[in-house]
Amino acid sequence: MTAYVDADFPPSQRSISGDAPPEAAHEAVSWRRFDELWPSERLPPSASDLAASALSVDQGAVGDCYFLGPLSSLASAKPHLVRWLFVATTSSEAAQVGGDRVGLRFYVHGAWQTVTVDTLLPCRADGRPLFSGRSGPGWAALLEKGYAKLAGSYAALDGGRAVETLVELTGGVCERHSVDRPPTATATAAATAAAAASAAAAAEMVGSLRRWSTQGNNLICCSRAAPLADGVEPPRLGQPGHTYCVLAIERRGKQYAAHLHSMPPASDGEAGGGAAGEEAAAATGGAGKTKPAATAAAGAAAAAAKAEPGGEGSGSGWVRLDDLTGLFDRFTLCRLPPAPSPTAAADGAAAATAAAAAAAAAAAAAAAAPPPRLSLEQQRQQRRQQQLRRQQPQTTQLSHERCVWLEAPAGGPSHGGLWASFGQNRRLGGAIAGHHGLIGPHWKAWGCPPPS
């Protein structure tokens, strides 16, 4: 049997570069299947496999750290949420996944959508994947391919925002906070006030980060939009335009510290990683060179120099929480949704089927049930209303207006009823006054349009 090939996202250069001319770093030499590249991995991945390989996710020849960073941290903290992104949730569905195709879920435009892709991945001349998966797990490479299909091409993933990615990966609610720095370091009164306001905002953000970390169902990302000044060496942590995720905030000694994690740089020096991720346009300019800035970054570099290596790559480590606002100026909080069960999709489909069957049974029972018996008085009133309706010549003229049928109370000064039109002003009192002068407060109003 012929293996599945996705006609909407085929193994061609167009899926990599889109309509733009291909770059040298984005030229695929071959396309290889998932099970050929990762023979020991199984699809869909289990939650334990996701947690074990989460911090090994790497970045390839496109700047999508804003996607891979949150994905890696989400798999580390909440692996069941990443497991949910793979459509297969039962053993029978799992038999249809892997080998040649995979279904992936993304939360797009307010609803979960399934994206089906084949398992062919672009590779370089040495046989390794061109994008994510050079030394990391294959499940992240497949999710990256599904995300690229949504965007139109791999090249379209170059630069983005974590606040949007987190929504599309989790369906959660995200908010973004900024800690802006004073534009200059002059000694004017305005500059002093701006510096005081910035310090107050930074202190407030530190308190918010501690509070968010204790709530247990949040994911925090941070990035630096402000470029470095001329001559300032980029720090190991806090590189402009790169997305970092906060894995934990703990008390270490007398102070609180944050455990940061980001994508390790490409091992062979090719394009990818670095400042091509979040807010790259604001952090870099042309050919990856750093833009000049009026604000010095000595404090950020000093904070990064004091960071303890985290052991998961050069982009990870512990940083004093008070120094975090010196390294970063953009903070994204994602409030994660409740955890879906491993068989949530199957349970949801079964529940929907059961509800539809119950509704159909109720409708059938209602149709088969005899109509309720009316008392003699109710039958007389029904016949009287039918007779009065037949005597109303204006019924057809009023059918296109907003009108009511007014029924006279039994034993009142009037008998029967009449049609009253609301007219354009939709005021019932004025319409009634124009039709009858003896209408009292006990008349019954029947809805519109009038029955035939």
One-letter amino acid identity for 84? W
Is residue 82 in a domain? yes
Q: Coil, helix or strand for 101?
A: strand
Q: Nearest-CA neighbor of 99 among 128, 130, 120?
A: 120
Q: Is the domain of 49 the same as that of 145? A: yes
Rounded to an integer, what distance in angstroms lies between the CA atom of residue 156 and that of residue 13?
13
Distance CA 418, CA 377 (A): 21
Cα-to-chain-centroid distance, residue 30: 33
Residue 275 lies in a domain: yes
Given 275, 307, 335, which residue is the final one in a domain?
A: 335
Instruction: Pick the closest to residue 44 from 85, 100, 1 (CA basis).
Output: 85
Residue 451 lies in a domain: no
Cα–Cα distances (Å) from 400 to 304, 390, 449, in that order, read 74, 18, 7
Q: 237 in a domain, yes or no?
A: yes
Residue ranges of the chain with per-residue pLDDT less than 70: 1, 22-26, 28, 88-99, 182-187, 228-236, 264-315, 339-356, 391-452
Report yes or no: 330 and 277 within 8 Å, Cβ to Cβ: no
**How many angstroms separate the CA atoms of 436 and 439, rounded?**
6
48: tokens are 């334990």
In a domain, 367, yes or no: no
Cβ atoms 277, 241 nearer than 8 A: yes
pLDDT at 94: 52
Same domain, 318 and 382: no
User: Are 292 and 153 within one domain?
Assistant: yes
Residues 380, 251: one domain?
no
Residues 304 and 382 reside in one and the same domain:
no
234 with 330, same domain: the answer is yes
Asked if residue 189 belongs to a domain, the reply is no
Does 224 lie in the same domain as 94?
yes
Domain shared by 259 and 331, yes or no: yes
In contact, 229 and 296? CB cutoff 8 Å = yes
The string of DSSP letters for 128-150 reads: SBSSTTSSS-HHHHHHHHHHHHH
> In this structure, what is the dihedral angle of CA atoms 152, 158, 159, 163, given to the nearest 10 degrees?
50
Structure tokens that stand for 319 in this block: 């940083």
DSSP state of 86: B
Of 295, 314, 293, give the one whose Cα is nearest residue 244: 314
Query: Looking at beta carbons, which pairs linking 354-362 to residues 24 or more positions away fall under 8 Å?
Result: none
**Pair 229, 119 in one domain:** yes
What are 318's strand-pairing partners? 259, 308
**pLDDT tens readout for residues 10-21:** 999 889 988 877
Q: Per the domain annotation, does 78 fall within a domain?
A: yes
Q: How many other β-carbons are positioned within 10 Å of the β-carbon of residue 445?
A: 13
Domain closes at, from 281, 306, 335? 335
Amino acid present at 318: W
Instruction: Using CB atoms within 10 Å of the CB of residue 132, give its burial: 0 to 12 exposed, 13 to 18 middle, 19+ buried.
Output: buried
pLDDT in tens, 56-71: 999 998 999 999 999 9
Domain count, the chain: 2
In a domain, 151, yes or no: yes
What gap in Å lies between CA 181 and CA 202, rounded to an integer?
9
Q: Are both 92 and 18 inside the same structural domain?
A: yes
The encoded tokens of residue 196 equal 């005081």
**Burial state string for 219-257 with b = 16 or more CB within 10 A and e = fewer than 16:** bbbbbbbbbbeeebebbebbbbbbbbbbbebeeeeeebb
Which residue among 314, 335, 356 closes a domain? 335
Q: How far apart are CA 205 and CA 179, in angstroms?
A: 8
Looking at residue 32, what DSSP letter applies?
Answer: E
| Residue where the block lists tokens 């309509």 | 19
Q: Which amino acid is at 16?
A: I
pLDDT at 417: 53
Residues 331 and 421 in one domain: no
The answer on 62 and 150 residing in a single domain is yes
Q: Name the token pair of 234.
A: 């980029």
Domain extent for 245: 13-183+201-335
